[in-house]
Every structure is written in structure tokens, then in C-alpha cells.
Amino acid sequence: MRPTELSRLLARELTSLRDELLAYPDERAIWALPKGLPNSGGNLSLHLTGNLRWFVGAQLGATGYVRDRDAEFARRDVPRAELIAQVETARDEVTRTLATMDPSAFDAQYPLEVGGVRCTTGRFLLHLEAHFAYHLGQLDYHRRVVTGSSTSVGPIPISALADR
């Protein structure tokens, strides 16, 4: 996998995150926490953007972002506009960082030990993509449970990966 391919995947997922947030009827629904669901859509959004901004932007792109992981799950009632702004900031940081990466950096060791594990940058970035997609699916189900809507926002269209 090359940095440009990973960038395209993550940009697609970030677009889907924005689309999911826009599909909620109001901000109250974004922050609803039905029984049995561990996270609101808002907290999942904060977690996804914080995760990418920290592990890609700050660690590989030297953006200076400082992460507060606990706050990603503790904050409440962040306005939808702020959540979407964070999605756009994450997209910008990820895109800029991956655009400047030498493909050989994927074979180098990722600069941090994560969860007691050291691995290559490429392997860790693939993990981040899978992590994002996992939580994006949770957010989609949260929106459907909260709104009672079975309508899809088309979260991971294969067409977004086509060469143009």
C-alpha cells in the first residue's frame, strides 16, 4: 500500500463521517445514548477525529495536535458544526501528512509503541483505517437506532476509490 492509496481510503471514511453527522435530524440526536449503546455519535466522531489527528497528524506530520482521549468520550453537546469542522481538520492533516510521506516510511517502525506493541508504520496505518471503519459502522447504527431510519448515507462507496 502506498501513502496516496491510504489517503484516499481515509478521505472516503472522513467524508462518510461528515455525511453521517449531517444525516442526524438535530444535535440532540447526535448525543443521544440509548440503553445498550456505549457511545453517542458525537463521542464516536470526537474519537475518530482525535485518533487520526494524533496518530497521523501529530506523530507523522508534526502538526502539534495534543490529544485528550478521555475527553473524546466524556464531552457532551458539542455543536454539529464543531464536529464537522474537526472532521475537515482531520482530513486536511491526514491528506497533507500522507502526501509528503516517502513510501519507504511505511516499512520503518512507527514512532510510538501503541498498546504495548511496536510495528511498522504501514501496518499501524492499516490498523488505523480498520479502526476508523469499525467505529464508522457503530456511528451508522447509532444514527439508525436513534432516528428509527434505515436509510443509508452510502458510507463506504467503492466509487470513491476509482482512478480518475
How do residues 105-131 score in pLDDT, each as one tens digit?
A: 999 999 999 999 999 999 999 999 999
Read off the C-alpha cell for 137. Answer: 459502522
Looking at the 3D structure of the chain, how many domains does it have?
A: 1
Domain span at residue 39 reads: 3-152
Is 145 inside a domain boundary?
yes
3-class SS of residue 59: helix
Is 157 inside a domain boundary?
no
Statement: the pTM of the whole predicted model exceeds 0.85: yes
d(C-alpha 46, C-alpha 58), whole Å = 16
CB half-sphere exposure, 123, CA atoms < 13 A: 12
- Per the rule left: phi > 0, alpha: psi between -120 and 50, beta: everything else, 62 is left
Place of cell 487520526: 52
Is 158 inside a domain boundary?
no
Is 80 inside a domain boundary?
yes
CATH code of the domain in which 135 resides: 1.20.120.450
Place of cell 482531520: 90
